[in-house]
């Protein structure tokens, strides 16, 4: 059996004195698509940043491809480049990830840092732009892109390195339905489905399409793990972790009377456009990119 892509053992992490991860243990096998579910502040983003070696744990251990992932390993240039090449991270807010002055430069940034030869970079940038349908935006400045385009450029700027593992933080946040389904399709097709994906979300809509494994987090711990069917079927768990919520609304079929009950919605994303369930279900209030 191959080594897991990541293995976390009793990981603890504090952010400005507040505990963000409290004794978290988790195994992420290679080639699987893992979805991290949890309400805001459950520690999903922090976990992703630990997996990308941007933060290092205060206690416990993170293993990447069987080797310890710590500050000492990342201080070594070769080891650092090797890791960066294998693991890509798409941040939640593309405005923070797109820090170059044009789309071309954005795609070239990673390869330049990893010391690829200039000719190869030019070639690879053009190929990637072409395959992601971004060629017409080549010289565009990031502030002149739409939300969906920004997300696609951010994804392209990571995929250009052809990583083995892709980490995504709320990839569908603030996307319109069409951009969202395009993005999901890209992810599912990526690398023939053989790549490892770890995605943090509270958008239950996309879980069944994407996930092999669901991990539910609360207060910096993993509290449940299973197949999408198992997790999405456990309404009590989802309610307790704030992933579904009771709210008031009107059903057209009940004569407009308002009533209060739990809502769970999944699996009807693309099949029932305009269906009642689609209309009444609202994802949890998303954090605006500015508050992130």
- Report the interface residues with another protein, using CB under 8 A: 49, 52, 54, 77, 80-81, 84-85, 88-89, 91, 93, 95-102, 104-105, 108-110, 112-114, 118, 121-122, 139, 141-144, 157-158, 161, 290, 292
Question: What would the DSSP string read from start to end of 67-132?
Answer: EE--HHHHHSHHHHHHHHHHEEEE-S-HHHH--SSSHHHHHHHHHHHTT--HHHHHHHHHHHHHHT
What is the b/e burial string over 68-97, where b = at least 16 CB atoms within 10 angstroms of the residue's CB?
Answer: ebeeebeeeeeeeeebbbbbbbbbbbbbeb
The phi-psi region of residue 78 (left if phi > 0; otherwise alpha if psi is between -120 and 50; otherwise beta) is alpha
With CA atoms as reference, report the closest residue to 34 among 194, 207, 179.
207
- Do residues 33 and 211 touch, judged by C-beta distance below 8 A? yes
Whole-number minimum distance, CB 172 to another protein, in Å?
A: 19
CB of 102 to another protein, least distance (A): 5
Strands 258-262 and 246-250: antiparallel
Nearer to another protein, 93 or 172 (CB): 93
CB of 73 to another protein, least distance (A): 13
Closest CB to another protein among residues 144, 282 = 144
214: enclosing H helix or E strand? strand 213-218
Q: Toward another protein, which CB reaches closer, 4 or 110? A: 110
Q: State the angle between helix axes of 118-131 and 147-159 in degrees (0 to 180), rounded to the nearest 10.
A: 140
Choose between 150 and 195: whose C-beta lies nearer to another protein.
Answer: 150
Q: Report the nearest approach of another protein to the CB of residue 150 (Å).
A: 11
Q: Give min distance, CB of 35 to another protein, in A.
A: 20
Tell the smallest beta-carbon distance from residue 187 to another protein (Å): 18
Q: Which is nearer to another protein, 143 or 259 (CB)?
A: 143
Q: Which is nearer to another protein, 65 or 89 (CB)?
A: 89
- Residues near 187 by Cβ (< 8 Å), separated by ≥ 6? 33, 166, 168, 171, 197, 199, 210
Q: What is the smallest separation between the CB atom of 168 and another protein, expressed in angstroms?
A: 12
Q: Dmax over Cα atoms in the chain, in whole Å?
A: 67
Nearer to another protein, 87 or 238 (CB): 87
């Amino acid at each position: 059996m191959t080594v897991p892509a990541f293995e976390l053992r009793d990981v603890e992490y504090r952010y400005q004195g507040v505990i963000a991860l409290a004794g978290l243990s988790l195994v992420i096998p290679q080639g699987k698509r893992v979805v991290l579910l949890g309400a805001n502040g459950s520690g999903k983003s922090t976990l992703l940043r630990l997996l990308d070696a941007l933060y290092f744990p205060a206690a416990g251990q993170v293993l990447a491809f069987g080797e310890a992932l710590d500050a000492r390993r990342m201080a070594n240039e070769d080891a650092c480049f090797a890791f960066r090449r294998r693991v890509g991270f798409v941040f939640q807010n593309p405005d923070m990830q797109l820090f170059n002055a044009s789309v071309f430069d954005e795609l070239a940034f990673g390869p330049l840092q990893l010391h690829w030869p200039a000719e190869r970079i030019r070639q690879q940038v053009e190929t990637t732009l072409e395959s992601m349908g971004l060629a017409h935006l080549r010289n565009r400045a990031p502030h002149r892109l739409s939300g969906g385009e920004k997300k696609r450029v951010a994804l392209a700027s990571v995929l250009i390195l052809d990583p083995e593992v892709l980490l995504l933080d709320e990839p569908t946040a603030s996307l319109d339905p069409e951009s969202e389904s395009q993005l999901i399709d890209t992810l599912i097709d990526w690398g023939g489905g053989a790549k490892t994906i770890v995605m943090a979300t509270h958008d239950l809509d996309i879980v069944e399409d994407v996930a092999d494994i669901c991990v539910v987090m609360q207060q910096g711990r993993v509290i449940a793990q299973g197949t999408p069917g198992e997790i999405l079927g456990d309404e009590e768990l989802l309610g307790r972790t704030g992933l579904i919520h009771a709210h008031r609304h009107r059903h057209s079929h009940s004569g407009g009377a308002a009533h209060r009950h739990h809502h769970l919605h999944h699996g009807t994303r693309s099949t029932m456009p305009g269906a009642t369930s689609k209309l009444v279900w609202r994802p949890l209030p998303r954090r605006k990119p500015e508050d992130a």
